[in-house]
């Protein structure tokens, strides 16, 4: 194992793996650390964010999300990120499983939550490098946006459909 890059939150490793067929392969693995994503819901409505993403030089609709700090539990990250990105807090975080984003090259896991019992957060402190607009819309409309391609973010699509499935 050789670390090719080590950043504050992300590392890139070159490793040799033994495959189930008896062969070996050299591969690159990206380690971004743990993350969370939340779908804030209020009755039949939900909140998404419209955020500028520099990697694609465009805005996308997505659920609030963020990376876990060292020693932070997923629920703690979810509560913190919900406040930072939506100016709301939740008294009820319902686990909706997890996803592996792209296991072909990364071990990233995102813990999914539905956030309910929302209230305004007085201690809101936005990250200065994020450009975010909070959007309230019916959950059914968010579902249609995921189905027709207006929502293209994978974590958002997965979490929307998990929450919708739980309501059925």
| Domain spans, the chain | 1-31, 34-167
Residue 10: the pLDDT is: 93
pLDDT tens per residue across span 8-29: 889 999 999 999 999 999 999 9
Q: What is the pTM of this model?
A: 0.93
> Which superfamily does 34-167 belong to?
Nucleoside Triphosphate Pyrophosphohydrolase (3.90.79.10)
Catalytic-role residue among 128, 133, 141, 166: 128
- In angstroms, the CA 50 to CA 57 distance is 13
Q: What are phi and psi of 110, to 5 degrees?
A: -115, 120
Tell me if residue 85 is catalytic: no
**Secondary structure (3-state) at 52:** strand
pLDDT tens per residue across span 97-156: 999 999 999 999 999 999 999 999 986 666 677 789 999 999 999 999 999 999 999 999
Q: How far is CA 12 from the centre of its chain?
A: 20
Residue 130: the pLDDT is: 75
CA distances (Å), origin 94, targets 89, 116, 117, 136:
13, 8, 11, 19
Q: What is the 3-state secondary structure (H, E, C) of 59-121?
A: EEEECCEEECCCCCCHHHHHHHHHHHHHCEEEEEEEEEEEEECCCCCECCEEEEEEEEEEEEC
């Amino acid at each position: 194992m050789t670390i090719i890059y080590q950043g504050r939150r992300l590392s890139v490793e070159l490793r040799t793996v033994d495959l189930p067929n008896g062969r070996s392969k050299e591969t690159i693995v990206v380690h971004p650390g743990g993350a969370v994503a939340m779908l804030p819901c209020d009755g039949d409505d939900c909140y998404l964010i419209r955020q500028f993403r520099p990697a694609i030089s465009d805005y996308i609709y997505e659920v609030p999300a963020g990376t876990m700090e060292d020693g932070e539990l997923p629920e703690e990250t979810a509560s913190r990120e919900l406040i930072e990105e939506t100016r709301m807090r939740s008294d009820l975080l319902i686990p909706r499983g997890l996803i592996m984003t792209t296991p072909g090259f990364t071990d990233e896991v995102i813990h999914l939550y539905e956030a309910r019992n929302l209230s305004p957060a007085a201690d809101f402190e936005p990250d200065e490098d994020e450009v975010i607009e909070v959007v309230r819309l019916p959950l059914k409309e968010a579902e249609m946006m995921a189905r027709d391609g207006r929502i293209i973010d994978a974590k958002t699509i997965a979490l929307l459909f998990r929450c919708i499935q739980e309501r059925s």
